């Protein structure tokens, strides 16, 4: 019997309209479902609790192969809230960090960072030079010793100082029309809710003086 299951939002989205696991299978042993790869939509939470199992712990997690760990994950001592990752991981000085004010922020979109060294951090990249140029360029671009993970996040405060957290997409793909930061995940959510859309790709393109960049 499976007690813990790992999946992805894409898999759950493919299952929504045609698969009813809770009706067709004995899931009495299932306690936890982990999801990673991209942010879980609110509809994914609804599907899991309506069609899979009503008392399972659904943990949307975010971290990476590079750290063999999670910056944000589920916590069995805290409630699961639709659309949110539950809490920052133990032993991690992680937060939503605004570069302009140089402060941690709540209820605003900012960078996911870890401000202090942590045990799971890699020490180098294979094949990098002696100055670790690729490694430092990937995560320590500001030169302030802060690990910039590359995600645009928003701490809601629903679980106090430790969370919850909403991931809006990669910070390096953030769109900023009129100075308003929009994560690509926010666009995908609505585009892929349309039945006629099988797949989609969000691309930011600079527009200058009413023309696309590079247009003649």
CB 67 within 8 A of CB 122: yes
DSSP state of 40: P
* pTM of the complete model: 0.79
Q: Using CA atoms, how far apart are residues 153 and 166, in angstroms rounded to an integer?
A: 6
| pLDDT single digits (tens) 166-192 | 998 776 655 555 555 566 666 777 787
Q: What is the pLDDT of residue 216?
A: 44
Secondary-structure percent of the chain, ordered helix, strand, coil, rounded to 5 = 20, 25, 50
Query: Which residues contact residue 175 at a Cβ distance below 8 angstroms, ignoring those fewer than 6 apart?
Result: 181, 182, 183, 184, 187, 202, 204
**22-66 pLDDT, tens per residue?**
999 999 999 999 999 888 888 999 999 999 999 999 999 998 888
> What letter would DSSP give residue 33?
E
The three-class DSSP label of residue 196 is coil
* Cβ atoms of 111 and 99 closer than 8 Å: yes
The predicted pLDDT at position 110 comes to 92
Give the pLDDT confidence score for residue 183 in this predicted structure: 62
pLDDT of residue 177: 53
Contacts of 203 (CB under 8 A, 6+ apart): none
- Please indicate whether residue 63 or residue 4 has the higher confidence score (pLDDT): 4
Q: Are the C-beta atoms of residues 88 and 78 closer than 8 Å to each other? A: no
């Amino acid at each position: 019997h499976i007690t813990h299951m790992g999946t992805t939002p894409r898999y759950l989205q493919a299952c929504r309209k045609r698969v009813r696991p809770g009706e067709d299978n004995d899931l009495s042993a299932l306690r936890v479902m982990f999801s990673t790869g991209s942010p879980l939509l609110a509809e994914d939470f609804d599907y899991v609790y309506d069609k899979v199992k009503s008392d399972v712990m659904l943990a949307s997690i975010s971290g990476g192969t590079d750290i063999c760990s999670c910056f944000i994950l589920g916590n069995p001592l805290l409630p699961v809230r639709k659309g949110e990752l539950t809490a920052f991981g133990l032993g991690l000085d992680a937060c939503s960090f605004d570069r302009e004010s140089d402060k941690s922020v709540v209820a605003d979109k900012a960078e996911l960072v870890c401000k202090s060294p942590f045990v799971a951090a890699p020490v180098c990249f294979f094949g990098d030079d002696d100055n670790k140029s690729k490694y430092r360029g990937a995560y320590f671009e500001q030169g302030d010793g802060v690990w910039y993970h590359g995600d645009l996040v928003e701490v809601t405060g629903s679980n106090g100082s430790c969370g919850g957290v909403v991931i809006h997409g990669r910070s390096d793909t953030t769109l900023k029309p009129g100075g308003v930061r929009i994560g690509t995940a926010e666009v995908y959510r609505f585009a892929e809710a349309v039945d006629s859309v099988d797949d989609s790709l969000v691309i930011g393109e600079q527009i200058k003086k009413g023309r696309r960049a590079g247009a003649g």
